[in-house]
Amino acid sequence: MDVAPRLAARPGGVAMGGRILVPTVSTEQMKAIERSMAETYGIDPLQAMENAGRSLATLAQRMLDGDVADRSIVVLAGRGPNGGGGLAAARHLINWGAWVQIVCSHPPDRYQGAAARQLRILQAMGAPLAWAEEGWELPPADLLIDALIGYGLRGAPRGPSRNLIRLANSSAAPILSLDAPSGVDTASGKVFEPHLQATSTLTLALPKDGFRQPEAARACGALYLADVGVPPALYAQLGIDVPPLFGRSPIVALIVEDGQIWAEK
């Protein structure tokens, strides 16, 4: 079975003091993982996006003491896959009884692929949607979800995303970021201005290389990892040693310490 070329492996699986060392991935590795999921295993991007969105909604529920009914949540959604995960989470939270306001970084016709499908579902539901160019301001909320920019950031945020990051920074609500806080370069760990200081971050599949850097780790706040359905054989074929992590829960708390990332056993 052919997959993407083998890439440099990150160490994983070493147990120490009740913890398991979790490997990190580069941007190139993450792209290879997503490509192989679709091309080799036939896992549609919408499937992984659904897994990400449900896990994000579940972590939001935990942050609101286990009950989102009648709680106010604002979701900031970019036009890429990261935004699609945020839109999926918004749908679950609405279904669970939350009061959700969705602010999209771009008009509907700028969304493509799986993210556009998520947006169409919300439109069919009559979900409360707003667009960044309308000058919309963030209302008070119990939680703000950041799904603006994913692992592919290069350079400081620009355009509508930049404006929404600044608006979010003015909010008193705790912030839950998807995959990475917007404004953090997941490859280098560089933190741009503006960027979001997350209360918690739910990263997907595996933590990113840049999170081992102190400044990026601080921006992430409490770091969690979500299972999005990557087959273990895919990791092995790419030369990434990934220990079993999700036997107890599809969401795992991580600890960043001395440039390494650990999960509790």
Domains of the chain with bracketed CATH = 15-264 (3.40.50.10260)
Q: What is the rounded distance in angstroms from the CA atom of residue 49 to the CA atom of residue 118?
A: 9
**pLDDT number for residue 14:** 60
Cis peptide before 140 (omega within 30 of 0): no
pLDDT one digit per residue (tens) for the chain, 265 residues? 333 433 444 455 565 667 999 999 999 999 999 999 999 999 999 999 999 999 999 999 999 999 999 999 999 999 999 999 999 999 999 999 999 999 999 999 999 999 999 999 999 999 999 987 656 678 899 999 999 998 877 788 888 899 999 999 989 999 999 999 999 999 999 999 999 999 999 999 999 999 999 999 999 999 999 999 999 999 999 999 999 999 999 999 999 999 999 998 7
DSSP 95-137: HTT-EEEEEESS-GGG--HHHHHHHHHHHHHT--EEEGGGT--
